[in-house]
Amino acid sequence: MNPPPLPPLDPPPVPAIRVEGLCRQFGKIRAVDGLSFSIAQGEVAGFIGANGAGKTTTMRILATLEYPTSGVAQIMGTNVMDYPARVREMLGWMPDNFGTYDNMTVIEYLDFFARALGYRGKERRERVDEVMEFTELNKLHDRLINKLSKGMGQRLCLGRALIHDPQVLILDEPAAGLDPKARVELRHLIRILAQEGKTILISSHILSELGEMCDTLIFINAGKVVHQGTAESMKRHGLETAVVQVGILGDPARLEQWALMSPQVKYLQATKDGAKLEVADGSPQALAALLRRLIGDGIEVVDFRREERNLEDAFIEMVGKLDREGGGR
Amino acid sequence: MNETPPPGPVLADFSDSIGPMVVKELRQGLRTRSFTWAFLFVQLLLLIFMTGGFTESSDSRDTAGSFWFLLQVTLLVVMPLRGLNALNAEVRNNTMELIALTRMSAWRIVSGKWLALMSQSVLLAVAVLPYIVIRYFFGGMNVVAELILLFVVIGLSGVVTALMVGLSVVSNFLIRSFFTVPAVVLVFRFLGESVYRVSRGDGLAPFNLGLWAWIGILPAAIYLGYYLLDMAASRIAPEAVNYASRRRISGLAVFVVSLVVAHGWAVSGALWIPFLFFGLFAMDALSEHPPMVASVDEPFRRHPLGAVLRIFLAPGWWSGTFYVLLLSALTRIAAELAPSVWMNSGISPGGEMEGLVLAFTASLLTPLAVMLLSRPSHPQPIVSYCLTAIFLGAIAVSLMPLIERGDLSELMMLVMVIPPLSVFSILSQSLESDTLTWIRFLQTVMIILSMVVVFWKKMRVREAMAASRREEATL
């Protein structure tokens, strides 16, 4: 008897954002140079790079506000160049500088965009109320928008981007110029949106925040992707060696002697109860073997920690390395 | 017990029947100082005129003159000028992009701006109706004539407002001023004439233009307003949205009708209307970026006559050149069919007429060639195009005194290569046939040279597009 046919496999979900070989030339300057990456649905991706790396241009192309010189940019499988109207329905865009109007209150601002997005009557009022509640702008509904603080302005801008409940959000430097409290509040809102399953592409210069919020980080330099992966992978990007901090019982000088006898280990500096060692192979297996050897050689290890670079350090090192190699502009 | 509804930010639903842009602009516009002060100022001054006007010693004609002067300055100058920043301010404040991301089409954005400004103008006009009633009670006025004048002023205000809103898409202040100043001067001429007539009690006299004139002027003014708004809309629309083709089709139809009407009207100056349209349509068509988006080409590929239609109607300066040549050919045909109209305008059939059409066409094509050679990737080609055209026009104007003195030396004959100079020369004096032949030759050369530049640039654009599509296909 033939086995029952297998149920057809579901096609792999379309990436929420797909960019392939994207180029954008402004006169003689190549702002984006063959950029390729993709972001799965429901993922939160951080977009990082030095000023002028091409982040905003890429985001503006994805938001249908700029045209690429060549290449493909898609939102939920739809080409942004050919079908901008369709893309705009799926997309919420928050620019780095929030444009204001004179003589307009918070509620009128949101109401205008709700109307412009096709909401009518009760539905429109409900959408505006929902957004005001989410962004906690209810109390400020009759405040003129050009009198809002930067933080409130960013909330309003996020609210506007959310009016039509888009599946994909592109946020360009939303935390720029915000005080710590406003940044925490904004991060909280973004976390809630991520939990709701929205795909978010967010650029920021505050890398530690991005590292906490994002599933993946895309680091671009001179219009090209240099690295894409988790925050952890970015911290270790380009690192073949690892630095470990070892604490022992007894005389710390023993560690120096032990390091001299070990070809793969370099003694860096002494610490209060041990030393910092550089290990040639930074893989987890090699580190486990190192610890085993230390214990096997009779050293009483009480502390064994891999020293992590923070994201800022990793970013600066990567940019510096690219500059030295001539990869930067 | 009746419960009072909880206080909350509830907005009325009546406004759902009005466009979002109109609602927004009215909310903002009615709060602006310029509107509030204009409204109060008009009311206050009218009150003063009325109070002073009905004393025993005063003349009701003076009151009428002051009344209409004030109203026309407000409706034809102050209110329309508020539109001059309408779109540019949105671009400058980074709000245009946010609006562009909504479902609102570029046309709804632009027309909404215009409609909101017009609504405020109409509100001002309606607010002065009681003063007309008061003047009627005191006698000495022709109610019908003045009401017609009020409608004409509101209509004219609509056209001037459309011009200002249309111009507001241009970032360059010089270009905006270049078109605004003549418009304001023309408005003041109309204003002065009608105030004078009304104060004399002539009422409708300035509009006693005859049937052909009305057939020509009224729809032409309405179409002009529509065209300017549509032109602005296409400048803020995404590349994938094609407004240009429909505008060119309607423009072609209007141009043919304007030629027919001008020939039917058969008075001196009747040809101004088709030439005005010719210049406007050409400036628009020649200052459009060629879209790099394949979907714009789709309707032309599907249509059986698409390949031919694309040559004249596809958006961008490339097809714009052929469109201009088509308008030029139509003008030439019309001139051949009814040379008398041209003679009425002081242009003799044959050499002068042919030279004028050629020089006018060259005047429109040359700025495009210069623009493509000097600043092909200007973000607003209309700025680059107009600046070149204004520059060439300024050179021509500065050389005109020499031409008018009859100084047609060899050097002067050479500078006739500047197309606007040839146009001005033909219009200002009767030239000898040798000079006309020389002008025709030079202007034909200018047209050919411009076309060569256009072809060369088109090839480069096509290569870039093909490379881009090849790259896309491999991805």
Distance from CA of B302 to the nearest CA of A (A): 17
Structure tokens at B319: 């097809």
Residue B368 confidence (pLDDT)? 95
Q: Name the closest residue on chain A to residue B297, using Cα atoms.
A: A82
Residue A182 confidence (pLDDT)? 83
Using DSSP's 3-state secondary structure scheme, residue A245 falls into strand
Question: CA Rg, chain A, in Å?
Answer: 25
A242-306 under CATH 3.30.70, yes or no: yes
- Location of structure tokens 């109860």: A273
Residue A99 confidence (pLDDT)? 77
Quickly name the fold that domain A17-100+148-236 has.
Answer: Rossmann fold (3.40.50)
Residue B472 confidence (pLDDT)? 58
Mean pLDDT, all residues of chain A: 86
pLDDT tier, A18 (very low <50, low <70, confident <90, very high otherwise): very high
CB count, 10 Å around CB of A53? 24
Residue B12 confidence (pLDDT)? 52
- Tell me if B28 and A104 make a contact (CB, 8 A cut-off): yes
Alpha helices in chain A (DSSP H): 55-62, 84-90, 106-116, 121-134, 150-162, 180-195, 207-213, 231-236, 253-261, 284-296, 311-325
Q: What is the DSSP string of B363-415?
A: HHHHHHHHHHHH-TT-S-HHHHHHHHHHHHHHHHHHHHHHHHTT---HHHHHH
- Tell me if A81 and B240 make a contact (CB, 8 A cut-off): yes
More confident residue, B359 or A103: B359
Collect all residues of chain A within an 8 Å Cβ-Cβ radius of residue B24: 104, 108, 112, 115
Q: Is B23 on the interface with A (CB under 8 A)?
A: yes
More confident residue, A48 or A8: A48
Q: Is A226 on the interface with B (CB under 8 A)?
A: no
Domain boundaries, chain A: 17-100+148-236, 242-306
- Tell me if A125 and B10 make a contact (CB, 8 A cut-off): yes
More confident residue, A10 or A137: A137
Tell me the average pLDDT across A205-229: 85
Contacts of A18 (CB under 8 A, 6+ apart): A38, A39, A72, A73, A74, A77
Rounded to whole angstroms, the Cα distance separating A99 from A227 reads 32
- Tell me if B102 and A88 make a contact (CB, 8 A cut-off): yes
Q: Which of B15, B21, B475 sits opposite A20 (nearest CB)?
A: B475
Rounded to whole angstroms, the Cα distance separating A11 from A5 reads 17
Residue A233 confidence (pLDDT)? 79
Tell me the average pLDDT across A173-198: 87
Residue B2 confidence (pLDDT)? 43
Collect all residues of chain B within an 8 Å Cβ-Cβ radius of residue A69: 464, 468
- Location of structure tokens 């256009």: B454
Residue B54 confidence (pLDDT)? 59
Residue A159 confidence (pLDDT)? 93
* Cα A232 to Cα A31, A127, A200, A206, A210, distances in angstroms: 28, 38, 19, 16, 12
ipTM of the complex: 0.76
List all residues of chain A from 12 to 31 with a beta carbon under 8 Å from chain B.
Answer: 20-21, 27
Q: Is A134 on the interface with B (CB under 8 A)?
A: no
- Location of structure tokens 């000495």: B140
CB contact at 8 A, B416 and B422: yes
Residue B392 confidence (pLDDT)? 93
pLDDT tens string, chain B, 475 residues long: the values are 444 444 445 455 677 888 899 999 999 988 888 888 888 988 888 888 777 765 655 565 667 778 888 888 889 988 999 899 889 888 888 888 899 889 898 999 999 999 999 999 999 888 888 888 887 777 767 777 778 788 888 888 999 999 999 999 988 888 888 888 888 888 888 777 777 776 666 655 555 666 666 666 778 888 989 999 999 999 888 777 889 999 999 999 999 988 887 777 666 667 778 888 999 999 999 998 888 777 788 888 888 888 889 999 999 999 999 999 999 999 988 888 877 777 777 777 777 888 999 999 999 999 999 999 987 777 788 999 999 999 999 999 998 888 777 666 677 777 888 899 989 888 887 778 888 888 899 999 999 999 999 999 888 877 777 776 666 566 5
Condensed to tens digits (0 to 9), the pLDDT of residues A267-314 reads 888 888 889 888 888 788 888 988 998 899 888 999 998 887 777 777
CB count, 10 Å around CB of B177? 13
Mutate to test the interface with B, among A115, A122, A131 (most CBs of B within 10 A): A115
Condensed to tens digits (0 to 9), the pLDDT of residues A128-147 reads 999 999 998 988 989 999 88
Q: Is B34 on the interface with A (CB under 8 A)?
A: no
- Tell me if B27 and A108 make a contact (CB, 8 A cut-off): yes
